[in-house]
Amino acid sequence: MNIRPIKTEADYRETLREIETLMSAEAGTEAGDRLDVLATLVEAYERTHFPMDLPDAVEAIKFRMEQQGLTVDDLVPAIGRKNRVYEVLARRRPLTVRMIQALNKRFNIPAESLINQRVSPRAA
């Protein structure tokens, strides 16, 4: 198995092309092992060259609401009264530590995303 590190954009594109040809490889075969190694190299390259930012708190909450079919009423136990939920969703009120903990525990929203808050300039 002749595998090289991905150092350039050309190496990256070439590796992606090879991965595409190996997509039907069965696990445990030489081709399957090659696919695993190449995918790991691509993942490492992408993590370094194409980092993804975490969503901000409101985006994470709205995503979870959509994903689980939640309503504003469902957020009341974690955030507080209904008007407070609307203020948070409109970015007029930042989340408190208690809210972050409750949203993380109750709805399994990553704390890293909940900490990443953007408050509208009007609220600041």
Tens digit of pLDDT for each residue in 48-85?
Answer: 998 877 788 999 999 999 999 999 999 999 999 999 99
Span between the terminal Cα atoms of the chain, in Å: 57
At 3-47, the pLDDT tens digits run 999 999 999 999 999 999 999 999 999 999 999 999 999 999 998
Q: At what angle do helices 9-22 and 30-49 cross, to 10 degrees?
A: 140
With tokens 């007029």, the residue in question is 92
pTM listed for this prediction: 0.58
Phi and psi at 123, nearest 5°, equal: -80, -25
Q: What is the pLDDT of residue 1?
A: 66
